[in-house]
Amino acid sequence: MKILFIGDVVGKLGRRAVAALLPAIKEKHEPDLTIANAENLAHGKGVTSQTLKELLDAGVDFCTSGNHIWAKPEGHSIVAQKDSLVLRPANFPDGTPGSGARLFTVGTKSVLVVNLMGRVFMKEHLSCPFRALDSILDEYKSKKPNAIIVDFHAEVTSEKNTFGLYADGRVSAVLGTHTHVPTADERILPNGTAYISDVGMVGLKYSSIGVEYQGILQTFLTQMPGKFEVPDAGLAVFNAVLLDIDPKTAKTRSIVRIQQDVEI
């Protein structure tokens, strides 16, 4: 079983880059399921129905998210829809709209997708992601998924690495998102779980995590608020990982980083 996971898609440029590159990538690798982190779809923060439609039309099957999922009012209703194609982190408080895990039928097999958020250096006051994972795995234990994919949306590599080792052997993959910078530590952990600290992003290549750097530079230089601009055109980078999973054991055979540039 092959699963393609795309890093945080940032703004219109990111959406257009996915549309430009994903069809050929899917034709080459033939993934059974394509997932993308969509929390930055709408001009860098949040998601709307139209921006989500663009991503789905480009060939994405399902989306995870993170701390920016509530940035656009429309995002609240999107994640709250029955059978929504967008997850929000599962460790938000009880009563928060939406779901943090979903079981998919892919052909004759099943894939459980889980979205969790770290707590270190994050302003949200969330419950423990480690214990939240335990609860989710216990809830879906009887379903015996052929693959379990976790998007761990977190700030620091220490928390991400520790979470990966905690989940090792119990999930197929722990894929870090949020920092938008791809890491070169993709590997299979000792008990068969694929891990990477951050998948990266789809957005402006020469930027500050997808935002034109000039405004952010002024903030660094002067400590005054700068204007953050998310471009619609330019040279985009596409970051993703391709997983090859044994559906009999839910262990991962390989994790391969994909990085391509495209002028939009």
Active-site residue list: 68
- For the sheet containing 194-196, what is the strand order? 101-106, 109-117, 147-153, 173-177, 194-196, 187-188
Residues whose CB is less than 8 angstroms from the CB of residue 83 and which lie 6 or more positions away in sequence, other chains included: none
Helix and strand numbers, DSSP H then E, in the chain: 6, 13
| Sign, CA torsion 241/115/161/10 | positive
Task: Give the single-character DSSP code of 93.
Answer: P
| Sign, CA torsion 183/187/191/194 | positive
Only one residue has tokens 């400590």, namely 223
Region of residue 78 (phi > 0: left; psi between -120 and 50: alpha; otherwise: beta): alpha
Tell me the β-bridge partners of 257: 241
Residues whose CB is less than 8 angstroms from the CB of residue 138 and which lie 6 or more positions away in sequence, other chains included: none
